[in-house]
Amino acid sequence: MGQLTDKTALVTGASTGIGLATAERFIAEGARVYLTGRRTQVLDAAAQNLGDQAIAIQNDVSDLDDLDRLFDRIAADGDRLDILFANAGGGEANQPLDTLTPEAFDHTFGINLRGTAFTVQKALPLLNDGGSIVLTGSSSAHRGTAGFGVYSATKAAIRQFGRVWAAELAPRGLRVNTLVPGPTDTPGLRGLAESPERAGVLLDEMASSTPLRRAADPAEIANAVLFLASDQSSFITGSELFVDGGEVQVYP
């Protein structure tokens, strides 16, 4: 306990799932955490459950004006950031090439790629030298899954952003790493199912792609984010940490 005492973190996409579990883990380790999400009611409820060390700010990372308001608010609070977990993202499961629309393409790239890039860019003036940036990638970037072309492409690009940014930000001692979760039991993943009744079936199907034959709990992914955010990973940058139950490494 106490690995993040006196640290301040920003977790985007923190209303539910991996982002929320990570915010909870950071707070348990002593951090003050800003949480963002698009759904105000869900976000506020999450922050209330986390206690006084959680500050909720409604935010859409694909909206650059919204991002400016986010960082203006953090600055107005007199805070600087030691940790940025750029986790906000999304995408639809069924976007095959023959039915892909420009609107769907722009939506997924806007959240996953544009949103991540400008979240990190706009955070830089507030990030303390020696801090940690963690990006959320995906095992889908390493697999050719039908219907996931656009989503996979955005996550593959995030991996390359992480490498380049690690080089660009090294003079400031800022570390940049990409976390790659496998199937994880989150509302977002369950929402890919055709119906709530099919969510468990979808989760089981995705879990079968891992040697461990199960999906991760969001808390397990949060433990890995904590490692990358803390001094425990002080000599790690530009890396890709797979927390996927062996999905990519054993069953490529």
Same domain, 210 and 94: no
Angle at which helices 17-28 and 218-229 pack, to 10 degrees?
50
CA-to-CA distance for 170 and 163, rounded, in angstroms? 11
Contacts of 96 (CB under 8 A, 6+ apart): 146, 147, 149
CA-to-CA distance for 84 and 131, rounded, in angstroms? 8
In a domain, 54, yes or no: yes
Instruction: Name the domain count of the chain.
Output: 2
In a domain, 145, yes or no: yes
Task: Give, in degrees to the nearest 5, the angle at Cα 54 between 71 and 90.
Answer: 65
Q: Read off the tokens for 170.
A: 């090294």
pLDDT at 203: 77
Phi, psi of 239 (to 5 degrees): -100, 170
DSSP 110: I
Same domain, 39 and 79: yes
pLDDT by residue for the chain (252 residues), tens only, comes to 799 999 999 999 999 999 999 999 999 999 999 999 999 999 999 999 999 999 999 999 999 999 999 999 999 999 999 999 999 998 776 789 999 999 999 999 999 999 999 999 999 999 999 999 999 999 889 888 888 899 999 999 999 999 999 999 999 999 999 999 988 887 776 666 567 777 777 777 777 888 998 888 999 999 999 999 999 999 999 999 999 999 998 876
Handedness of CA 193, 199, 204, 209 (dihedral sign): positive
Domain ranges, residue 86:
8-181+217-242
For tokens 């959320």, the residue is 136
pTM here is 0.94
In a domain, 128, yes or no: yes
pLDDT at 190: 64
Pairing status of strand 240-243 against strand 175-181: parallel
The C-alpha torsion from 194 through 198 and 202 to 207, rounded to 10°, is 160
CATH number at residue 83: 3.40.50.720
140: closest CA among 114, 164, 112, 176? Answer: 112
Same domain, 84 and 164: yes
pLDDT at 168: 98
For 51-186, where are the alpha helices, taking DSSP H only?
64-76, 102-109, 115-123, 149-169
In a domain, 27, yes or no: yes
Q: Read off the tokens for 230.
A: 């803390």
Q: Is 151 a catalytic residue?
A: yes
Length in residues, the chain? 252
Same domain, 209 and 92: no
Same domain, 86 and 211: no
Same domain, 52 and 119: yes
Count CB neighbours of 206 within 10 A. 18
Same domain, 126 and 199: no
In a domain, 193, yes or no: yes
The active-site residue, picked from 151, 165, 227, 242, is 151
Same domain, 171 and 75: yes
Same domain, 196 and 131: no
Cβ(189)–Cβ(203) under 8 Å? yes
Which uninterrupted H or E stretch holds 130? Answer: strand 127-136
Same domain, 144 and 43: yes
Residue 136, strand partner residues: 179
